[in-house]
């Protein structure tokens, strides 16, 4: 059974996908092609290759890669791997998640349909870009139940949603959303869930977007975006990417591709830690509410989302002032935006990532978002206890002992 076999389990796919040509190249580790330009065999073949890539295709077999704005073999390997993980024919990688979203909106509205339906809540950058008018699209915002009513027959080009949503972890039934979209392509931001826990294309989504900066890369050292989709949409996305120069740098593609190999084991371990942190926070007197996916109709083995994930958010009884206190007092958590890395992060969405969002759609000022990393959850709980005001030695020791009950 070869590496490209469709019968490999997901963990094996994560390790081996996109590496099929390495043995023929005589290498074991992923190579990085940093060439900005490439030698041309002759004028005609080089021209054919350039035309193919500029219009959304691959290099001509004999024409070469020509120019790195159009195509790169290191990037192409990552795209192949992500497509395998997301169960789509192709994937297209970009210099950031926002570049990927921009390309998707431009590509889908290129045929004259200029209307986009956006399901709130969603990442603040997505909300802001869609509402800015910069992409020439008119946007209707709605909740999941309002998708069908928000459509404009003959004008709506795309439905955009995120599940779990950033930062409140709201869940959207993807299959129901696709049905409500009534044939309009649906783009699902799958950044929080990752292909380890959710495959939107299996539920009818036309485009699956990732900020690959987050879990796919996993180590906080790369900015990247990827959209997994069918071949027709992939060609349209590559056309936009070629013209706008939004191709992911090959070093970034290498880092994300390397990150995929450990993605399943990282996500599962982070999820286990997040569940313990969420349970502890749920019993803390200063916590009003914990936003964390629960097992149910949409979450669990055989469901839309196969696990609860490693993201959570909390609302604090002390409001914004206590949020300031917690983010200043923690030491193991890093107070920073982004998410999905091996180390735990904490941030205040209303003041940062969702600051440009209109007030009616902005998260509450008492909400903090946590990305749980690979640290021992007992240490993370002790750190949060310190931040919440239980930082005296005895109290923290008690928290560590309680959190560690039954743990190895």
- The answer, as to whether pTM is greater than 0.85, is yes
Given 19, 114, 120, 214, the catalytic residue: 214
The CATH code for residues 264-403 is 3.90.1150.10
- What residues does each domain of the chain span? 10-33+72-261, 264-403
* Beta-bridge mates of residue 210: 226
pLDDT digits (tens, 9 = 90+) for 22-81: 999 999 999 999 999 999 999 999 999 999 999 999 999 999 999 999 999 999 999 999
Give yes or no on whether 10-33+72-261 and 264-403 have one common fold. Answer: no
Peptide bond into 121 cis (omega under 30): yes
| pLDDT at residue number 4 | 53
Is residue 362 among the annotated active site residues? no
Given 20, 33, 69, 175, the catalytic residue: 69
Given 170, 189, 366, 383, the catalytic residue: 189
- Quote the radius of gyration of the chain (alpha carbons, Å): 22
Is residue 67 among the annotated active site residues? no
CATH topology of domain 10-33+72-261: 3.40.640
Q: Which residue is it, tokens 């900020």?
A: 211
Given 19, 77, 120, 123, the catalytic residue: 123
Please state, in angstroms and rounded to a whole number, the distance separating the CA atoms of residues 287 and 268. 26
- Regions of the chain with pLDDT less than 50: 1-3, 390-408
Contacts of 51 (CB under 8 A, 6+ apart): none
pLDDT digits (tens, 9 = 90+) for 164-191: 999 999 999 999 999 999 999 999 999 9
| pLDDT at residue number 353 | 85
Judge whether 94 and 248 are in contact, CB under 8 Å.
yes
Is residue 214 among the annotated active site residues? yes
């Amino acid at each position: 059974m070869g590496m490209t076999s469709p019968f490999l389990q997901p963990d094996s796919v994560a390790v081996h996908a996109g590496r099929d040509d390495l043995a023929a190249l005589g290498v074991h580790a992923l190579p990085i092609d940093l060439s900005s330009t490439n030698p041309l065999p002759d004028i005609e073949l080089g021209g054919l290759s350039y035309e193919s890539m500029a219009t959304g295709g691959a290099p001509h077999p004999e024409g070469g890669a020509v120019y790195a704005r159009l195509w790169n073999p290191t990037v192409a390997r990552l795209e192949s791997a992500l497509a395998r993980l997301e169960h789509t024919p192709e994937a297209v990688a970009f210099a950031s998640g926002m570049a990927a979203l921009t390309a998707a909106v431009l590509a889908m509205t290129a045929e004259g349909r200029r209307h986009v339906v956006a399901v709130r809540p969603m990442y603040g950058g997505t909300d802001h870009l869609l509402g800015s008018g910069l992409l020439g699209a008119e946007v209707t915002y709605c909740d999941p139940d309002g998708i069908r009513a928000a459509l404009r027959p003959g004008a709506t080009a795309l439905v955009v949603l995120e599940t779990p949503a950033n930062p409140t972890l709201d869940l959207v039934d993807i299959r129901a959303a696709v049905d409500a979209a009534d044939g309009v392509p649906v783009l699902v931001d799958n950044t929080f869930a990752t292909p380890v826990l959710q495959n939107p294309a299996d539920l009818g989504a036309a485009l699956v977007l990732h900020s690959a900066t987050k879990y796919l890369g996993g180590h906080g050292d790369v900015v990247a975006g990827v959209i997994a989709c069918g071949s027709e949409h992939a060609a349209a996305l590559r056309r936009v990417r070629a013209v706008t120069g939004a191709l992911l740098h090959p070093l970034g593609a290498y880092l994300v591709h390397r990150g995929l190999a450990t993605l399943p084991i990282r996500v599962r371990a982070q999820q286990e830690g997040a569940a313990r942190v969420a349970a502890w926070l749920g019993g803390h007197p200063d916590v009003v509410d914990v936003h964390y996916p629960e097992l149910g109709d949409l979450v669990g083995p055989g469901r839309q989302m196969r696990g609860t994930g490693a993201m959570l958010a909390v609302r604090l009884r002390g409001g914004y002032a206590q949020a300031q206190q917690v983010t200043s007092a923690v030491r193991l958590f890093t107070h920073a935006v982004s998410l999905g890395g091996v180390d735990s992060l904490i941030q205040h969405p209303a003041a940062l990532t969702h600051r440009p969002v209109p007030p009616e759609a902005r998260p509450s000022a008492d909400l903090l978002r946590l990305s749980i990393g690979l640290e021992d959850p007992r240490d993370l709980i002790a750190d949060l206890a310190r931040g919440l005001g239980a930082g005296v030695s005895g109290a923290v020791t008690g928290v560590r002992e309680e959190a560690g009950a039954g743990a190895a």
